[in-house]
Amino acid sequence: MVNALTSGSSSLLSSNPTAFLMNQIAGRLYADMTKEVTAVETKYDPELQSILARRGTVSGRLKEVQNVLDGVKNAETQIDEIKQVLRDMKVTLSKAKATTSDSAKKFYAKQFNEHLKKLNESADQYMPEYNLIGRADERTLLPETKELSTDDGGFIELDTLYGGSSFNLIGTDTSEGEYYQNDPSGNFMSKVESLGAEDSLFSISHGTSIFESLNIDRDADTIEFKLNSSDGTGDEFKGTIQKGGLGLMPAWYYDDLAGDAGIDAAREAVSDAFTQLNRVSFSVTMVETKVKPMATSLEAEKKSLLDDFTATSRLIDDKISDIEDEARREFNAIESSLNAQASALGGYQRILAQVGGGGSFVNILG
Contacts of 281 (CB under 8 A, 6+ apart): 75, 79
Read off the pLDDT band of 231 (50, 70, 90).
low
Average pLDDT over residues 336-354: 64
CATH number at residue 95: 1.20.1330
pLDDT in tens, 141-163: 999 999 999 888 889 999 999 99
Average pLDDT over residues 8-12: 43
Determine, yes or no, domain membership for 200. Answer: yes
Would you say residue 10 has pLDDT above 60?
no
Q: Which amino acid is at 12?
A: L
pLDDT score for 332: 82
Distance CA 119, CA 248 (A): 10
Average pLDDT over residues 17-34: 77
Count structural domains, the chain.
1
Residue 185 near residue 250 (C-beta atoms within 8 A)? no
- Edge-to-edge order in the sheet of strand 211-217: 202-205, 188-192, 179-183, 165-171, 236-245, 222-227, 211-217
Distance CA 48, CA 56 (A): 12
Distance CA 197, CA 137 (A): 11
Determine, yes or no, domain membership for 322. Answer: no
Determine, yes or no, domain membership for 177. Answer: yes
Would you say residue 366 has pLDDT above 70?
no
pLDDT score for 276: 98
Would you say residue 58 has pLDDT above 80?
yes
Determine, yes or no, domain membership for 171. Answer: yes
Contacts of 74 (CB under 8 A, 6+ apart): 126, 130, 131, 132
Distance CA 143, CA 130 (A): 12
To the nearest whole number, what is the mean pLDDT of the chain? 88
Read off the pLDDT band of 209 (50, 70, 90).
confident
Enclosing H/E stretch for 38: helix 19-98
> By residue range, what is the domain housing residue 132?
54-303
Residue 184 near residue 248 (C-beta atoms within 8 A)? no
Residue 280 near residue 158 (C-beta atoms within 8 A)? no
Enter the DSSP assignment of 26.
H
Backbone dihedral region for residue 247 (phi beyond 0: left; psi -120 to 50: alpha; all else: beta): left
More confident residue, 307 or 359: 307
pLDDT in tens, 104-153: 999 999 999 999 999 999 999 999 999 999 999 999 999 999 999 988 88
DSSP 61-78: HHHHHHHHHHHHHHHHHH
